[in-house]
Structure 1
Amino acid sequence: MNLKAAIQLTISMAIFGSVGFFTINTGIPAEELVFVRCICATLFLGGLWVLTKSYKTEQWSRKEVIQTLICGVFLVFNWVFLFKAFDVMEISVAISIYNLAPIFVLIMGSVFLKEKMSFSAIIAIVFCFLGSVLIVGLNQLGSVSDLMNSGFVWAMLSAICYALTMFVGKGITHLSTYALTFVQTAVGIVILLPLVDFAVFNGLTTSNWLYILGTGFIHTGFVYYLFFNSIRKLSTIVVSALVFVDPLVAIILDMFILDFIPSIVQTVGIIFIFGGIIYTLVKPPKKSNLKTDGSSTY
């Protein structure tokens, strides 16, 4: 195992885990936060792309560019939906639902690529979705308004969008990670620019701006550099294990800084979700060509 790469991935996952804490302290809505995040990431990663001179060796193809643009759309909406979920529900709950993304990838592979799904994988999926119901609470699922106000829909949409990002991006093999991320975040700027209300930036405190810029340059720029620089040097098993540092840090911060104490039912739900996810990673369905290493990038 490449120890340096493992340390880099662990650090990136630990920082990813604090994104929810940063988000709720920015003082701005999800759309505006993602817009600033895209600008920061585009500048940071674009700068590295130029400094490393990777742009000189890029292998551009029409197919991969189209795939990258589509991934960019899904990735941006994934961020927007996740940050909306953070605004209305506990971070631990939102993160648990968000991490269902690899499960959705398996389902998409079965539906669209006709990949055979084993009975044990189906059972794991059932446990994951049962867990998501338990951590949100049956009382929140009684009506459409309660469902929307609970944040469940936002968290679930964020997981689906990230799964679509992984699913569509599966065939991108020639573009460097710098080019890939640069194009995706640039797409985010274009998409969100018409939706941004610049008035929300008036009256922000220094603390707000530190959290906003931290979310952009640290959680997106710097962490993406560590993340992509490490995963290609590690086995899928190691990556699958280390990515769980992310939700672990998120839940710890939620409990010890934001005073979230999960109920017994919510605890069972969290165990169901991560138990099902870990099972699918340890014992993936046969004949599956999809990577479901659980890699999550906020």
Structure 2
Amino acid sequence: MKGITYVLLSQICFALIGVFTKYISPSVDTFTIVFFRVSIAAIFFLILAAATKNIRQLSLKREDIRPFFFLGVMVAFNFVFFIAAFSYTSIVEVGLLCSVTPIFVYLMASKVLKEKITSMGVVALAIVIVGIYLMNSTGFESSHLMGNIFVLLSCVFAAGQVTYTKLEERDHTSLDTVFWPMLVASIFMSPALVGFSFSSVPLNIYMWIVLLGVVATGFSYLFFAKALEHLEAGKYSIMSVIAFPLISIIFGVGLFGEHLTASMIYGGSLLMLSAVIVHYEKSPLLNAGFVRMMNQKLLRILLGLRLKKY
């Protein structure tokens, strides 16, 4: 039960990124928001390490500089595209589109970690394409299209971050692989402060900025780590793929009156389904009979969908 609670808390914190950004973005540009987010998060993890007497875990060797720099740059690009997306599209669409991240991780792992792409993986990729099409079935000239593209780019960098972190965690602690990339990202994004006027931003906006760095970033990673103490990584991934879109829908519809169309439901459901398939394609449950059954059901679903505009 504790594991499930931590999963929900981590996804609530993560979904709050969209809420806080919607409040901040009218007064602060995307690059500055990202700078504050990663800087505050780095300070949060430094304080956490000191409070838990794990400051020695933040050791940095000379050979670590290059990989952590590379990881930090990926974090910066991931956050920039993710934050920018909320200026063009809704929290609901961002939440649903983020379901494709495991697919990108799957593709990168096949290249970097030499993991084999299976037939079910190919099926999942096909479902992703259909799901993304349905998500944009209101027209590719839609004002939300740019935001959706930013979300997908963010997912690509997030997948790279996850894959590269897997490599680094072989020789480093989890605290290492979070703190140093955040610090590097803050240095990388520091030019955003050039010309920024602190006095022109209302004080209440700074409150949202602090919450973005501490709650939506710091605590989301903390609850994520706590969840993995009680659950296997695969179970966490499945639960997060389902929980994050649902929580995003609640925030988007409940707080900002965003609309949830039929095309979003169809497309988002397919994206979540593809993520589930990727996670379970190596499970013993997926024997030949089960795979055939899944393929038949998916075929009926896809043939039953009308690719019309909503």
Length-normalised TM-score, structure 2 = 0.81
Shift of 1:232: 3.9
- Aligned-pair distance for 1:259? 1.5
Structure 2 CA distance, aligned partners of 1:249 and 1:213? Answer: 21
User: Greater shift after overlay, 174-183 or 146-155?
Assistant: 146-155
Do the aligned partners of 1:93 and 1:136 also contact (CA within 8 Å) in 2?
no
Report the count of equivalent residues.
Answer: 280
Match of 1:203 in 2: 200
Q: How does 1:98-247 map to 2 (within 5 A)?
A: 98-137=98-137, 139-140=139-140, 150-171=146-167, 172-199=169-196, 201-243=198-240, 244-247=242-245
Matches within 5 A, 1:31-42: 31-42=31-42
One-letter code aligned to 1:54: N
Percent identity reads 21
Unpaired runs of 5+ in structure 2? Answer: 285-310
Displacement of 1:48 in angstroms is 1.3
Q: CA distance change for structure 1 residues 264 and 204 in 2, over 3 Å: closer, same or farther?
A: same
**Judging changes above 3 Å, is the alpha-carbon distance between structure 1 residues 101 and 285 closer, same or farther for their aligned structure 2 residues?**
farther
1:219 aligned counterpart, secondary structure:
helix
CA distance in 2: counterparts of 1:57 and 1:264, whole angstroms: 48
Residues 15 and 246, structure 1, Cα contact 8 Å, conserved in 2 = no
Task: Specify the SS of the correspondent of 1:99.
Answer: helix
Q: Structure 1: state its 5+ residue gaps.
A: 287-298
Q: Would the alpha carbon gap of residues 242 and 64 (structure 1) be closer, same or farther in structure 2, given more than 3 Å must change?
A: farther
C-alpha RMSD of matched pairs (Å) = 2.5
| Deviations, residues 206-236 of structure 1 (Å, cap 9, x unaligned) | 3322211110111112332222233244212
Name the TM-score, length of structure 1 as normaliser.
Answer: 0.84
For residue 140 of structure 2, give the secondary structure of its aligned residue in structure 1: helix
Q: Name 1:261's counterpart in structure 2.
A: 259
Match of 1:283 in 2: 281
Q: Is the 8 A contact 2:45 2:179 kept in 1?
A: yes
1:274 — aligned with what? 272
Could you tell me which amino acid in structure 2 is paired with residue 166 of structure 1?
Answer: V
Distance 1:222 1:264, change over 3 A: closer
Aligned counterpart, 1:248: 246
Whether the aligned pair in 1 keeps the contact of 2:20 and 2:212 (CA below 8 Å) is: yes
Cα deviation, residue 18, structure 1: 1.9
How many angstroms apart in 2 are the aligned matches of 1:55 and 1:206?
32
Q: SS of the counterpart of 1:87?
A: coil
Of 4, 7, 24, 2:5 maps to 7
Question: Offset at 1:35?
Answer: 0.6
Q: For residue 23 of structure 1, what is the amino acid of its counterpart?
A: T
User: Which of 211-220 and 229-238 deviates more?
Assistant: 229-238
Report the Cα distance in structure 2 between the residues aligned to 1:65 and 1:9, rounded to whole angstroms. Answer: 31
Q: Cα distance 1:50–1:210, how it changes in 2: closer, same or farther (>3 A)?
A: same
- Report the secondary structure of 1:88's partner residue: coil
Query: Within 1, Cα distance between the matches of 2:110 and 2:44?
Result: 37
Q: Is the 8 A contact 1:32 1:197 kept in 2?
A: no
The SS at the match of 1:199 is coil
Deviation at 1:53, TM superposition (A): 2.4
Q: Kindly indicate whether the alpha-carbon contact (under 8 Å) linking 2:85 and 2:150 is maintained by their aligned counterparts in 1.
A: yes
